[in-house]
C-alpha cells in the first residue's frame, strides 16, 4: 500500500487530546485516525473504500 501524507490544522487542545488517547491505548496517532476513518459509513455502501 502506498501511503500519502495529510496535513491538517487542529487546536492545541485537540492535538493534546489525540496524543493522550494514543498513548493511553498504545497506538500511534496515525492508527487512531485511520481507525476513525475506517469506522465512517458512506452512502454508496462501500465503507471499506481505501
Q: Is residue 31 part of a domain?
A: yes
Q: How confident is the model at residue 29, as a pLDDT?
A: 97
Query: 32, 10, 36: which is closest to 23 by C-alpha?
Result: 32
C-alpha–C-alpha distance, residues 20 and 26, integer Å: 10
Mean pLDDT of 2-28: 97
Domain holding 23, by residue range, is 11-37
Give the model's confidence band at 1: pLDDT under 50 very low, under 70 low, under 90 confident, else very high. confident
Banded model confidence at residue 44, pLDDT cuts 50, 70, 90:
confident
The distance from CA 12 to its chain's CA centroid, rounded to whole angstroms, is: 16
Which residues are within 8 A (CB) of 34 and not within 5 positions of it... i.e. 6 or more apart? none
pLDDT at position 46: 62
Instruction: Evaluate whether residue 5 is within a structural domain.
Output: no
17 inside domain = yes
Amino acid at each position: 500500500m502506498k501511503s500519502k501524507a495529510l496535513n491538517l490544522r487542529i487546536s492545541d487542545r485537540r492535538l493534546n487530546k489525540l496524543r493522550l488517547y494514543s498513548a493511553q491505548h498504545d497506538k500511534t496517532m496515525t492508527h487512531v485516525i485511520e481507525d476513525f476513518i475506517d469506522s465512517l459509513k458512506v452512502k454508496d455502501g462501500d465503507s471499506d473504500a481505501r
